[in-house]
Chains A and B, each alone.
Chain A
Amino acid sequence: EVQLVESGGGLVQPGGSLRLSCAASGFTLSSYLMRWVRQAPGKGLEWVSSIVGGGASTYYADSVKGRFTISRDISMNTLYLQMNSLRAEDTAIYYCAKSLSETGHSPADYWGQGTLVTVSS
């Protein structure tokens, strides 16, 4: 059974950093493209970042480029999102999601339950 469990969210001050983790089970990260998608409180969905199954290519939304870094540890089967220089507008529930295939052009078919990041002083 595919499971994705996010952790690492919390309250952080503007300009601070957080690292989110997404522990995957039931499949191998290296075989699928993985994504982070966020949802501000009461708002819609926003794609944040993707990493292809082989890990060679990563992609970012303009709103986080240069501040966030996606990575994964195949041995731990865990996906990460390092978030630096956090802003109030980064406040959201962050979901990790598995895609249907190893590369792009496939939608996310499994999502974690999300972890809440709140950026506030």
Chain B
Amino acid sequence: EILLTQSPGTLSLSPGERATLSCRASQSVSSNYLAWYQQKPGQAPSLLIYGASNRATGIPDRFSGSGSGTDFTLTVSRLEPEDSAVYYCHQYGTSPLTFGPGTKVDIK
């Protein structure tokens, strides 16, 4: 099983600042099958990034993903108040599919 570790656990930033979220895998993620999801309280997760760097439909370009192998990053270039959420990385290349524990982003 591929274990995903996310850091930091919580990020507290102001609107307009840049957020950098890290996801590290215990072994190489097959073909960079790595996605990022945003989950707001009381809502289902929403797909942001897939294939490590491809934005999902309708996702603004201030969200970007990068990385390969075992180290991946989600960057939010200019935080907006509505970006307050928990962000999960997810590998879907190897069974069992696994999710990271999440990074909570608080907007001050």
**A: which residues have CB within 8 A of B?**
35, 44-47, 50, 59, 61-62, 95, 100, 104-109, 111-114
- Given known pairs A105-B33, A108-B47, the reply for A44 and B92 (CB within 8 Å) is no
Partner of A109, one of B43, B47, B102: B47
Q: Provide a sorted-by-A list of 10 A–B residue pairs whose CB atoms are within 8 angstroms.
A: A35-B97, A44-B101, A45-B45, A45-B88, A47-B96, A100-B50, A105-B30, A105-B92, A108-B45, A113-B44
A106 near B92 with CB under 8 A, answer yes
Alpha-carbon distance A28/B87, docked complex (angstroms): 29
Q: Find the A residue at minimum CB distance from B49.
A: A107
**B: which residues have CB within 8 A of A?**
30-31, 33, 35, 37, 39, 43-47, 50, 56-57, 88, 90, 92-93, 95-102
Partner of A44, one of B47, B96, B99: B99
Set of chain A residues within 8 Å of B102, measured between Cβ atoms: 44
A114 near B93 with CB under 8 A, answer no
Q: Find the B residue at minimum CB distance from A112.
A: B44
Closest beta carbon of chain A to B86's beta carbon, Å: 8
